[in-house]
Amino acid sequence: MKTTLKANAVWLGVMILGFVVIDAAEFAGLVNTFIENMLVTIGINVILATGLNLIIGFSGQFSLGHAGFMAIGAYATGIITQSIATPLGFYLSMIVGIFVAIIAALIVGIPTLRLRGDYLAIATMGAAEIIRILINNLKITNGAAGLFNIPALASWATVYTIMCVTTIVTVNFIHSRGGRAVMSVREDEIAAEAMGINTTRWKLAAFVFGAATAAIGGSLHAAYIQTIAPSDFNIMASIAILIIVVLGGVGSITGTFVAAIVLGALDTILQNFGTLRMIIYSLALILIMIFKPTGLLGNWELSFKRLNHHKEVSAHE
Amino acid sequence: MSNRLLDAQHLVKNFGGLTAVSDVSVHFDQNELVGLIGPNGAGKTTLFNLLTGVTPISSGAITLATDQGVQTLNGQRPAQIAQAGLSRTFQNIRLFKDLTVLDNVRIAMTNHYHETFFGSIFRTPAFYRTEAAMTTAAQNLLGIFDLTTVADQPAKNLPYGIQRRLEIVRALATKPKLLFLDEPAAGMNPEETADLTRLIRQIQHDFHITIVLIEHDMSLVMTVVERLYVLEHGALLAAGTPAEIQKNPAVIKAYLGDETTC
Amino acid sequence: MQTIGQQLINGLSLGSIYALLALGYTMVYGIIKLINFAHGDIYMLGAFWGYYVINVLHVNFIVALLSAMVFCALVGVVIEAIAYRPLRHSPRITALITAIGVSFLLENGMSYLFTANTRNFPQVIKTVTWHFAGMRISNIQVLILVTACLLMLILELIIKKTKMGKAMRAVSVDPTAAQLVGINLNHTISFTFALGSAMAGAAGVLIGLYYNSIDPLMGMTPGIKAFVAAVIGGIGSVPGASLGGFIIGLLETAVQAIGLSAYKDAVVYVVLIVILLVLPAGIFGKNVKEKV
Amino acid sequence: MKKWEQTTIKLTALATIAMTLAGCSTAKSSTSQGNNPGKTIKIGVNMELSGSAAGYGNQEKQGIQLAVNQINKNGGIKVGSTKKKIQLVIRDNKTANTTAASVAAQLVNNDKVVAVVGPAATNAGTASIPNMTKAAVPSVSPSATDPGYTLQKGGTVQPYIFRACYQNNFQGSSAAKFVTKTLKAKRVAILTDNSSDYGTGLTKAFKQAYTGTVASSQTFQEGDKDFNAILTSLKHKKVDAIYAPGYYSELGLIIKQARQAGINVPIIGSDGMADAKLAKIAGNHNATNVYYTTPFSTKSGATNPTAANFLKAFQAKYQTTAPTFSALAYDSVYMIKAAIENEKSANSVKIADGLAKLKNFKGVTGTITMNKKHNPEKSIVVEKLTQGIVKQTYNVQ
């Protein structure tokens, strides 16, 4: 128990240190708007990919509809902060977004989660497209033109903090009774059922959880970029998040962080390559997958608890 | 009749046009050790699947005696049946391979410990208490079956025999009234089988539960079980004590006939 | 009545295009369970190949069609050998990401080399429109419809009657067992990719000719639609892919005909989800239960 | 009890830190003085060079490069007494809004450009606005058409955001006027590109200004290739004309399939159609009785020397007729040049001032005066295609 607390303290320290470092860099002028943009994009991608990793990597359900739930969060913020342009309005809109996304996830998940593998992927992709098409044709969402002039209510600090909080919450969930039940579904659905695990329920729990984090990511996206349009949330957007999850390692939250940072940095650096950027990006993608088929980190997790444990063991020897 | 635990009447299972189980009636009493034998393809595993809800029955009735009286298990999902007190192992080991031995056991305890979602994501004191209780219980169970040393290893890294044992421990962790073991000795050498025999007896004695096992190893079956069901071609061929079964002409014919064709 | 008849023709001709593309998807998926995301882009390559051989080498239509099929078959085999083969024993999701990478590469590579502009496809066959009973159908529509059905039949024959087809079916059921009985896994998979990609090549030239407009991103949307078609029909099944293609074609046409064009794709996806809920493996798909 | 305490402490600490961190990062809100030029005048290009709008983005890039080459050949831009050459910094935003914002930030902060041309699409443009405004660097979009693009939330103008094209309301209502007055169409069908603000915005404006009956209003998506179903359903609606705002890639196919289906009524579109490829895709004999509103006519060379010069230079450099997107992008560069020369300074804030004050600027796409909302006021013409060739131009009052 002591090691747990110690590890938690270390984690908290790391998070605060990260914040202080970025803040200092910003103050010293090392981080300008450009770098800040990159960091925020990485942060939002971490939030989105962590949620998707919970669905794909931990519950083993292949969802390709993450952008649909992201859209719900983004539009909730876009619409609500038009009339309540205060931080309070922003958090309110985020909560509304989460709530709507949860309802949508239940509507989508209850029937489709009984499908398996690629069939589930294609069904969730369809569901996300339906959400996008609805947004594209509704008046309140301003149709294809999207919403712009969304008040800038999310700074990089907001994104950073919320990224930390969602990661903590997700990791905590994984390391709990519920998280283990979710993983047992991934490992062997039949055996899990035979052990009394209501697999439908836990699959749905993971799916809804993921959808809620997607809505948070979307909400932050809307408030930081200040422009949203239905085309931001198409199939390719879902795939972009999937790529982060798989590249980092399915089932590794640490991997998700690493992949989001690597891809975010790569994308930014490739901005200097003009039209070649997407060619280099796709080649990088293919090569990483061929040489690291289980992703950059596989299912390895960074754990201060284990690190500490190792240290103690070696100290005793 | 008072100690009747599970009663299955006139079970039928059709797969398309094929009848895998036809009109089989079996019953298991409290703290009994029953064997289920029969040639390959006789429908033994299918019968297990029907009883544990993995495959739905085509017709028939399954009832379980509980504290609240006799309950029907017809149409229940496997998870509900497991929660009602029926647990099992699988012919082709189905552990949660990438998870640790400890987690395998803790997952089976899911329904006996309650953690709120809020508690687990915000780590309330109640969460830590439940988590600690759960871990202690799991470790105790692992201790009983000499698995403490491998508790932190992924299940897939264990040797075959230990995996079989872990699967039994995992099934026990659900606190079952009735434990179905599907060919627990498959692939074991005589020494391991002897260990297993002791283990099964110990479980029956220490946990006061009913055990039903499918087994091909006749030495194991005949030494350990109190009662036997013999299946052939999806139908019940005979029932009785090991001694009775060994003398049963129909069974001898079925088994000898089987051998001559080999 | 005439309008309905005409819409039926519209739907069938649109459906035949999806069917043509869905055939390649279904074959590749059937054998290695990979959603070959790059399939739509191979179709694009076929169209561009046709464009260049007709414009530069001035070949006739048949030569363009056949050479595009050969070219795409080669491309398919090369892609499989380089990008998918090393991942045969990796998690399937890894291969999927690689397929997406290949798709990006083809799209952007082509944009880079030949610009992203839309081009008009040389009209080597003069469009002739036949009118009957107030309805009209063009020779190219008929050509596509007939080709789609013909290719479907040929594929079905290859799979059911030839030795290679038998090998393909064996690999699709159990690659390891197929290898044990002496089937060359690499050859069989390469052959499947060649066949599927050749279908895409043919589709590229035909559709290029029909719509008269090609661009490097032309494979994206039809690619996804064709995959949906293959799933509806039961992925892995050749007649299923065709049926799925026709269902989507007719459905899109019907939705547009009643004036709901904005929800065209939404309706397709709703139908997809409903079909999957009723038939979890599509219309002709076999729902394989896991053995316990 | 100790565990309990520690947990509580941890939770409280976490909550406090979260709140404070979210609330107060080191705010740095000094008003930027804008960027200044070095030896050269750096102009950034934030453009859709890959992704779904790459076709249009690349045409704009060609127009920009042509303009910059010409200017540099003539010694550059006169800033006060010296002449400085233009250095282009071209970056691809891959038709993604987030990337457009990032590209804008890189251009203004790292490359220190004094003005930006782009992005092509409204949404990519609006995503870039915060970063442009923060750095006080003006941007001129050749083709962001949403009426709200240059405006802030309350309706006040965005100080650093300009465009070279019409806004949708003007173009859409002009088309409505043309359809009513010149074509005398009483019943129209509308076919809208529903995948961006462009088509939907034009349709909205058209519907508001049009006095006749809209018999049918259907939509299509970017990348669609088959319009037979919609056209068949239109055939019996007895319309006098079809209004179809969108881009040439889809419109070419609509025209082709409409004519093949025997629908021969006039088809009226917008400047997204003004491209030689339209007739190529539709087929010359189909591209008859086709009209579109455009700021710039390939025929205008006769009356507008700037346009004549541009058309000739474009043809010489790229061996193709200049499309509208290239013309608009070309004008965007020259508008920046005019602003610099008028202000006698290439400081980015000054350029913005100059752009806002732009008056009677002689561009390829007409004589431009920047209005209070940073929209260029210029005349609009309607071109008519017959057998794929511009045979006639109309002025719209």
Q: Are residue B116 and residue B71 in the same domain, yes or no? A: no
> Max Cα separation, chain A?
69
> Looking at chain D, which residue has its C-alpha nearest residue C265?
D221
Tell me the pLDDT band of A314, cut-offs 50, 70 and 90. Answer: low
What is the rounded average pLDDT for all residues in chain B?
90
Asked if C272 has any chain A CB less than 8 Å from its own CB, the reply is yes
ipTM of the complex: 0.92
Asked if A172 has any chain B CB less than 8 Å from its own CB, the reply is yes
pLDDT digit string (tens) for C187-241?
999 999 999 999 999 999 999 999 988 999 999 989 999 999 999 998 888 999 9
Supply the DSSP symbol for C148: H
Asked if A113 has any chain C CB less than 8 Å from its own CB, the reply is no
Asked if A29 has any chain B CB less than 8 Å from its own CB, the reply is no
Residue A40: is its pLDDT beyond 80?
yes
Do the Cβ atoms of C266 and A133 come within 8 Å? yes
Tell me the pLDDT band of B256, cut-offs 50, 70 and 90. Answer: low
Top mean pLDDT of A103-107, C6-10, D8-12 is at A103-107
Do the Cβ atoms of B121 and A172 come within 8 Å? yes
Secondary structure of residue D117 in the 3-state scheme: strand
Q: Do the Cβ atoms of A42 and A163 come closer than 8 Å?
A: no
Tell me the pLDDT band of B62, cut-offs 50, 70 and 90. Answer: very high
Q: Do the Cβ atoms of B237 and B251 come closer than 8 Å?
A: yes
Q: What is the pLDDT of residue D2?
A: 45
Q: What is the pLDDT of residue A231?
A: 92
d(CA D332, CA D361): 11
- B127: which chain D residues are within 8 Å (Cβ-Cβ)? none
Residue labelled with tokens 């879902």: A238
Asked if D9 has any chain B CB less than 8 Å from its own CB, the reply is no
Q: Are residue B11 and residue B45 in the same domain, yes or no? A: yes
Q: At B88, which CATH number?
A: 3.40.50.300
> Looking at chain B, which residue has its C-alpha nearest residue C289?
B55
How many contacts does B have with C, using Cβ atoms within 8 A? 6
Give the best residue of D281, D286, D325 to mutate against chain C (max C CB count within 10 A).
D281
Q: What is the pLDDT of residue B2?
A: 59
| Chains contacting C (3+ CB pairs below 8 angstroms) | A, B, D
Asked if B156 has any chain D CB less than 8 Å from its own CB, the reply is no
Q: What is the pLDDT of residue D19?
A: 55
Q: What is the pLDDT of residue B17?
A: 80
Q: D-contacting residues of A 266-305, CB under 8 Å?
A: 267-268, 271-272, 274-275, 277-278
Q: Which fold has domain D169-294?
A: Rossmann fold (3.40.50)
Q: C-contacting residues of A 139-198, CB under 8 Å?
A: 190
Tell me the pLDDT band of D63, cut-offs 50, 70 and 90. Answer: very high
Residue C6 lies in a domain: yes
Give the best residue of C268, C276, C283, C286 to mutate against chain A (max A CB count within 10 A).
C276
Lowest mean pLDDT among A294-308, D52-66, D110-124, D318-332: A294-308
Domain count for chain C, please give it. Answer: 1
Asked if B126 has any chain A CB less than 8 Å from its own CB, the reply is no
Q: What is the pLDDT of residue D21?
A: 53
Q: What is the pLDDT of residue D321?
A: 87
Residue A41: is its pLDDT beyond 90?
yes
- C115: which chain D residues are within 8 Å (Cβ-Cβ)? 55, 58
Residue C117 lies in a domain: yes
Q: What is the pLDDT of residue A255?
A: 95
The CATH number of the domain covering residues in A2-316: 1.10.3470
Average pLDDT over residues D261-288: 91
- Burial of residue A305, with CB atoms counted within 10 A of its CB: 0-12 exposed, 13-18 middle, 19 or more buried: middle
Do the Cβ atoms of A246 and C93 come within 8 Å? yes
Percentage, residues of chain A above pLDDT 90: 77
d(CA D114, CA A171): 46
> Looking at chain C, which residue has its C-alpha nearest residue B89?
C292
Q: What is the pLDDT of residue A308?
A: 65
Asked if C292 has any chain B CB less than 8 Å from its own CB, the reply is yes
Question: Which residue range(s) make up the domain with B140?
Answer: 99-153
Locate CATH 3.40.50.2300 in chain D: 41-166+303-377, 169-294
pLDDT digit string (tens) for C129-157?
888 877 888 898 999 999 889 998 999 99
Residue D62: is its pLDDT beyond 80?
yes
Please report which helix (H) or strand (E) contains residue B12, including its range: strand B4-15
Q: What is the pLDDT of residue A307?
A: 67
pLDDT digit string (tens) for D171-187?
999 999 999 999 999 99
Beta bridge partners, A7, equal: none
Please report which helix (H) or strand (E) contains residue B18, including its range: strand B18-29
Lowest mean pLDDT among D26-40, D227-241, D301-315: D26-40
Percentage, residues of chain C above pLDDT 90: 66
- D11: which chain B residues are within 8 Å (Cβ-Cβ)? 122-123
Q: A-contacting residues of C 87-106, CB under 8 Å?
A: 87, 90-98, 100-105
State the virtual CA torsion across C260, C266, C267, C268 in degrees, nearest 10: 130
Q: Are residue B106 and residue B188 in the same domain, yes or no? A: no
What is the rounded average pLDDT for all residues in chain D?
89
Tell me the pLDDT band of B257, cut-offs 50, 70 and 90. Answer: low
pLDDT digit string (tens) for A178-199?
999 999 999 999 999 999 999 9
How many contacts does C have with D, using Cβ atoms within 8 A? 104
Average pLDDT over residues D359-365: 91
Residue C286: is its pLDDT beyond 80?
no
Asked if B102 has any chain A CB less than 8 Å from its own CB, the reply is no
Top mean pLDDT of A296-305, C70-79, C92-101 is at C70-79
pLDDT digit string (tens) for A80-138?
999 999 999 999 999 999 999 999 999 999 999 999 888 999 999 999 999 999 999 99
Average pLDDT over residues B240-250: 89
Residue A309: is its pLDDT beyond 70?
no
Q: What is the pLDDT of residue A2?
A: 65
Q: Are residue B75 and residue B197 in the same domain, yes or no? A: yes
Residue B259: is its pLDDT beyond 70?
no
Do the Cβ atoms of A177 and B108 come within 8 Å? no
Residue B158 lies in a domain: no
Give the best residue of A289, A292, A296, A297 to mutate against chain C (max C CB count within 10 A).
A289
Residue C29 lies in a domain: yes
Q: Do the Cβ atoms of D91 and D12 come closer than 8 Å?
A: no
Residue C69 lies in a domain: yes
Do the Cβ atoms of B125 and D4 come within 8 Å? yes
Supply the DSSP symbol for A28: T
Q: What is the pLDDT of residue D301?
A: 65
pLDDT digit string (tens) for A244-261?
999 999 999 999 999 999
Percentage, residues of chain B above pLDDT 70: 97
Do the Cβ atoms of D11 and B128 come within 8 Å? no
Domain count for chain B, please give it. Answer: 2
d(CA B67, CA C160): 59
What is the rounded average pLDDT for all residues in chain A?
92
Residue C79: is its pLDDT beyond 90?
yes
- C292: which chain B residues are within 8 Å (Cβ-Cβ)? 45, 49, 54-55, 90-91
> Looking at chain C, which residue has its C-alpha nearest residue B93?
C292
Pick the CATH number of D41-166+303-377 from 1.20.1250.40, 3.40.50.2300, 3.20.20.140, 3.30.1360.120: 3.40.50.2300
pLDDT digit string (tens) for D114-166?
999 989 999 999 999 999 999 999 999 999 999 999 999 888 999 999 999 99
Asked if B247 has any chain A CB less than 8 Å from its own CB, the reply is no
Q: What is the pLDDT of residue D344?
A: 92
pLDDT digit string (tens) for C19-65?
999 999 999 998 888 999 999 999 999 999 999 999 999 999 999 99
Do the Cβ atoms of A227 and D126 come within 8 Å? yes
pLDDT digit string (tens) for D218-261?
999 988 999 999 999 998 888 999 999 999 999 999 999 999 99
Q: What is the pLDDT of residue D27?
A: 45
Question: Which residue range(s) make up the domain with C140?
Answer: 2-220
Average pLDDT over residues B10-36: 91
Q: Closest partner residue to A137 among C228, C263, C272, by Cβ?
A: C263
Among B129, B153, B177, the domain boundary falls at B153
Supply the DSSP symbol for D28: -
Counting other chains too, the contacts that D306-314 makes at CB distance below 8 Å and 24 or more residues apart are D306/D362, D306/D363, D306/D364, D307/D364, D307/D365, D310/D66, D310/D364, D313/D66, D313/D70, D314/D62, D314/D63, D314/D66
| Chains contacting D (3+ CB pairs below 8 angstroms) | A, B, C
